[in-house]
Structure 1
Amino acid sequence: MSEHTTTVAGVAVDTRHWIGGERVASAETFTDVSPIDGGVLGEIARGTAAEAAAAVAAARAAFPAWAATPREERARVLHAIADGVERRLEELAVVETADNGALLRSHRRGVMPRVAHNFRFFADWLTRLGHEDFDTRGHTNHVSWDPAGPCVLITPWNAPLMLATWKVAPALAAGNTVVLKPAEWSPLTASLLADIAAEAGLPAGVLNVVQGYGSEIGDALTSHPDVRRISFTGSVPTAQRISSSAAANLTPLSLELGGKSPLLVFADADLDLAVDLAVEQYDNAGQVCLAATRILVEETVAEEFTRRFVERAARLKQGDPRDEATDIGPNIHPRQLEKIDGFVQRAIAAGARAVIGGKRLEGQYYAPTLLTDVAQDSEVVQEEVFGPVLTLQTFGDEAEAVRLANDTRFGLAATVATGDAARAGRVSGQLVAGTVWVNCFFVRDLQAPFGGSRHSGVGREGGTWSFDFYCDLKNTVTSPKGWKDHG
């Protein structure tokens, strides 16, 4: 076994960068630790500006040939990558569970199959991407999507491989080359993806993976003049830093940021369904940007809703995410756990009441928490906690529900529970959100636009919207005059 290889759950993972089709070590490393038990998973290559420059140079060198590759061939390679993901699905699942603590059963049944689907979807969408030609005073307009160039993709730790490939797949399909920087708290499956892509026949330099801290390698990537697109999923403060870094080169950005999404429960809703939707917000230990962490319940049913919620939440099993029976695993990092507990303890000190939870458990686990008696302008209502912490507030009528729902600086998603179709339409039309779910949650289709409003992000990706971002759109106008007969 190489000194640059670590074994995680029986799977060998190379801990070096992947640049220009080769493994590249760094002078220093950082330690990757499992949130399950605090065990060391490996010493990971700690990239600097030098590795950033090398990766961008490799992406730039590989770009002309990949951009000129016919769509059908690019699609074939993406399908081959999806095949590789499916062959190694179990390996990817066990490694990612060890790395970020999310449920193994979810990785096996939903997350890793979605990784493969990301590649297949954008491969297929590419082959039919187009716009009908149209006429302007006898002139023909033809719209085309031209590859933009090297793309820097910076991805989060809460769903590492799925969210990485949500960006990587359309960027590659569009004919671009990629430098992927995974989060330092969960870097391992990005390394495995590099292996899978190489085995699938993706040319050297088309996909590069570099690891490290944002302050050491991220800034060098986002400020590089040869980068043509930057896509980032993460926090608002980091997005502001990236935006500032990219501004000098006017590099286009796609930013999917935090959320403080509401779940509106009206008195005419199916309360059992509404309770199930509310409890579902504890998924992934509350580490989901889309989570409806602010539960807003109509006053007349609030007491009954709360009773059923407490009863339903009590059935959740918290523990080792590798156990098939577990519903809630650990939080990603001690620093994140401290952040979560800080929010809760400050809220309680300010007068909030923990109906359930409100405390740390052994290890990196936090008890599922529901806080009531919280003010609308309080920190725990206004700021993203990113842990298993929900708040419950009441409203008197539809207008108040909408006002409370929209009263944060975020606008990523919203969920509405109601038995009245007309109300669902009215309320959904007034909510500030990139996605609104009615009587459901987390139903996502890759052909739909995805992104946030306000401080929840800039831009939309998904379907043709992804290609609009990852490409330079061109309109070619052709006159019917001036043609010579070359027959």
Structure 2
Amino acid sequence: MTTKQSAAAFQNEPFTDFSAEVNKQEMEAALRKVKGELGRDYPLWIGAVKVMTEDKIVSINPGDLDEVVGRVSKATQDLAEKAMQAALLAFNSWKKVPAVERAEYLFKAAKLMRERKHEFSAFMVYEAGKNWGEADADTAEAIDFLEYYAREMIRLSETNLHRPLTKLAGENNRLDYIPLGVGITIPPWNFPLAICVGMTAAAIVCGNTVLLKPASVTPVIAHKFVELMEEVGLPAGVINFVPGSGSEIGDYLTSHPQTRFISFTGSKEVGLRINELAAKTAEGQIWIKRVIAEMGGKDGIVVDETANVEEAAKAIVVSAFGFQGQKCSAGSRAFVAAAVYDQVVDRVRELTQQLSIGLPEKNFQAGPVSDLGAYNKILDYIEIGKGEGRLIAGGAKAEGNGYYIQPTVFVDVDCKARIMQEEIFGPVLAIGKAADYQDAIAQFNDTEFGLTGSFFSQDEDQIAYALEEMHCGNLYINRKCTGALVGVHPFGGFNMSGTDSKAGGHDYLLLFTQAKLSSRKQS
């Protein structure tokens, strides 16, 4: 791929239509291929050295607990320190590689990932419990991030050509965006390829080197990404792969004096701890560490008196139960104006009860939740919900040799209830009645989070009110509150939802760079 081609206009990767027989057969072939690779052992990557440790993270298929997806070597503090030194060494040369050349590695990786799209998706079917459509969207987003950030880096490197500084007679001035240094990337398990790729690619294309600490629930798919980057020729040490315990190596690396930034996506509690640790200056540290954090949400859909009831109900169900509600953007709350409340509730119940539950490999609509900890936590919240609202769907475990839970709906729930306020991260929806659209928006805003939201209405004045008053980072009108597309819907939220770092947006790479002005007097 030439630089001219690389700098062409960005276009999102299309989703696969699995109703087409040829696509269905290709996905089934990929699942068979990947199934034959399950149960393998995977090493750490420290510079150019692959390290196999005795202690391993065992990745289990959450939809079939008898199936081991892989055994991934687990880093100790000593190995994490070696990875840090490898990253520091690699940074000395990587930061000098021209931006266009760094971008080419991402373009090459995107090309290979596109060619093997179904294989990457198949690993997430087995490891993350995603059905075909959810896995395919995850892989498509990963491809989008690679290409979008590559083009953004080229754009930033040409800033002086396209957005020149104000001229001053007798001086030549330019502004360059230079890398920060060594960073720690800590992606989540729910988008184990897309967000892992996006966070890591953004950091390295800017000239930084990273220590990638994947989520312990989904380390195999992260390893597949690192393998891909080696295949495209990325220099050793630019990405160092160090799975391990958050309390052992996560805290250690966050507190390390040579860590320049931490890029994190996950829970509010972990994000706040990272922010606290990063704020403390370690001995020998000569900078203020930068934290880029997306920490979850308690998102909701508001339905006013004029809304299309059918479209609103469909959006509520898709937003609440897509990937079992395990999205930081999931619509786990709905606030409905009294005039249409009963109609919306009845239709939501009908649509929820129609969802099929089963093995992701067989492409059921609803699959398992991530692991035993999440399974028990969600079931506990369902019991809490039975005391806070009226149960109209689900409310129990579902059949299967995995972490299956029925999609669950509670109605007549007060906005102060725990299931309205606390992030459950599972297939649990709470619906509350509002007097009117203004009351519904006030209830929507009554949360410590502020990530995504939707407003359903056919009244332009009420839509204008919602656009002004609903406090969240991504607000959608008359559509679901999940499904942000790279470059189309820059993603990030307010308050306890994080640092409002807009992933997939024009300002995102600035978080991984620092601006350096050079001024030269003309002779």
Both proteins in one fold, TM over 0.5: yes
Distance 1:194 1:137, change over 3 A: closer
For 2:507, the aligned partner's letter is W
Q: Is the 8 A contact 1:36 1:101 kept in 2?
A: yes
Cα distance in 1 between the residues matched to 2:408 and 2:172: 60
Distance 1:466 1:21, change over 3 A: farther
Cα distance in 2 between the residues matched to 1:11 and 1:76: 30
Q: 3-state SS of the aligned residue for 1:427?
A: helix
Cα distance, 1:67 vs structure 2: 1.2
For 1:387, the aligned partner's letter is G
Q: Name which of 431, 447, 450 aligns with 1:411.
A: 450
Q: Name which of 134, 138, 154 aligns with 2:165.
A: 134
Q: Is the 8 A contact 1:11 1:95 kept in 2?
A: no
Cα distance, 1:59 vs structure 2: 1.2
Aligned residue number for residue 202 of structure 2: 170
Cα distance in 1 between the residues matched to 2:189 and 2:522: 57
Q: Name which of 141, 147, 159 aligns with 1:120.
A: 147
2:481 is the alignment partner of 1:444: no
Q: Name which of 482, 485, 506 aligns with 1:464.
A: 506
Cα distance in 2 between the residues matched to 1:376 and 1:76: 49
Q: 3-state SS of the aligned residue for 1:415?
A: strand
Cα distance in 2 between the residues matched to 1:378 and 1:417: 23
Q: 3-state SS of the aligned residue for 2:361?
A: coil
Write the deviation string for residues 22-43 of structure 1: whole angstroms up to 9, x where unpaired: 3112242232211011123333
Q: 3-state SS of the aligned residue for 2:323?
A: helix
Q: Name which of 84, 88, 103 aligns with 1:56.
A: 84
Q: Name which of 363, 375, 383 aligns with 1:345.
A: 383
Note the 1:56-455 alignment, pairs <5 A: 56-108=84-136, 110-129=137-156, 130=159, 132-135=163-166, 138=169, 142-249=174-281, 250-281=288-319, 282-324=321-363, 326-348=364-386, 350-362=387-399, 363-441=402-480, 442-447=482-487, 448-455=489-496
Q: Is the 8 A contact 2:349 2:393 kept in 1?
A: yes
For 2:437, the aligned partner's letter is E
Q: 3-state SS of the aligned residue for 1:473?
A: strand
Write the deviation string for residues 314-355 of structure 1: whole angstroms up to 9, x where unpaired: 22111111123x11110011110110011110221x242111
Cα distance in 1 between the residues matched to 2:302 and 2:173: 46
Cα distance, 1:104 vs structure 2: 2.6
User: Which moves more between the two structures, 230-239 or 242-251?
Assistant: 242-251
Cα distance in 2 between the residues matched to 1:259 and 1:355: 24
Q: 3-state SS of the aligned residue for 2:458?
A: coil
Q: Is the 8 A contact 2:412 2:433 kept in 1?
A: no
Cα distance in 2 between the residues matched to 1:212 and 1:99: 17
Aligned residue number for residue 4 of structure 1: none
For 1:10, the aligned partner's letter is G
2:32 is the alignment partner of 1:16: no
Q: 3-state SS of the aligned residue for 1:228?
A: strand
Cα distance in 2 between the residues matched to 1:351 and 1:60: 52
User: Which moves more between the two structures, 136-145 or 65-74?
Assistant: 136-145
Write the deviation string for residues 198-230 of structure 1: whole angstroms up to 9, x where unpaired: 110100001111111111211112111111111
For 2:95, the aligned partner's letter is A
Q: Is the 8 A contact 1:18 1:191 kept in 2?
A: no
Q: How many residues align?
A: 472
For 2:311, the aligned partner's letter is L
Q: Is the 8 A contact 1:141 1:475 kept in 2?
A: yes
Q: Is the 8 A contact 2:388 2:417 kept in 1?
A: no
TM-score, normalised to structure 2's length? 0.87
Cα distance in 1 between the residues matched to 2:104 and 2:374: 40
User: Which moves more between the two structures, 431-440 or 133-142?
Assistant: 133-142
For 1:453, the aligned partner's letter is F
Cα distance in 2 between the residues matched to 1:415 and 1:21: 47
TM-score, normalised to structure 1's length? 0.93
Cα distance in 2 between the residues matched to 1:397 and 1:205: 57
Distance 1:157 1:443, change over 3 A: closer
Percentage of identical aligned residues? 31
User: Which moves more between the two structures, 240-249 or 264-273?
Assistant: 240-249
Cα distance in 2 between the residues matched to 1:477 and 1:445: 39
Q: 3-state SS of the aligned residue for 1:290?
A: coil
Cα distance in 1 between the residues matched to 2:333 and 2:388: 17
Q: Is the 8 A contact 2:174 2:519 kept in 1?
A: yes
Cα distance in 2 between the residues matched to 1:193 and 1:55: 18
Cα distance in 2 between the residues matched to 1:292 and 1:35: 23
Q: Which runs of 5+ in 1 are unaligned?
A: 1-6
User: Which moves more between the two structures, 134-143 or 39-48?
Assistant: 134-143
Cα distance, 1:453 vs structure 2: 0.8
For 1:307, the aligned partner's letter is D
Cα distance, 1:192 vs structure 2: 0.9
Q: 3-state SS of the aligned residue for 1:258?
A: coil
Cα distance in 2 between the residues matched to 1:459 and 1:401: 24
Cα distance, 1:87 vs structure 2: 2.8
For 1:70, the aligned partner's letter is P
Cα distance in 2 between the residues matched to 1:460 and 1:127: 20
Cα distance in 2 between the residues matched to 1:438 and 1:268: 13
Q: Is the 8 A contact 2:491 2:505 kept in 1?
A: no
For 2:53, the aligned partner's letter is S
Q: 3-state SS of the aligned residue for 1:68?
A: coil
Q: Name which of 49, 69, 73 aligns with 1:45.
A: 73
Cα distance in 1 between the residues matched to 2:194 and 2:304: 33
User: Which moves more between the two structures, 370-379 or 327-336?
Assistant: 370-379
Q: 3-state SS of the aligned residue for 1:403?
A: helix
Q: Is the 8 A contact 1:145 1:467 kept in 2?
A: no
Q: 3-state SS of the aligned residue for 2:310?
A: helix
Cα distance, 1:395 vs structure 2: 0.9
Cα distance, 1:242 vs structure 2: 1.0
Q: Is the 8 A contact 1:133 1:140 kept in 2?
A: no
User: Which moves more between the two structures, 387-396 or 25-34?
Assistant: 25-34
For 2:165, the aligned partner's letter is F
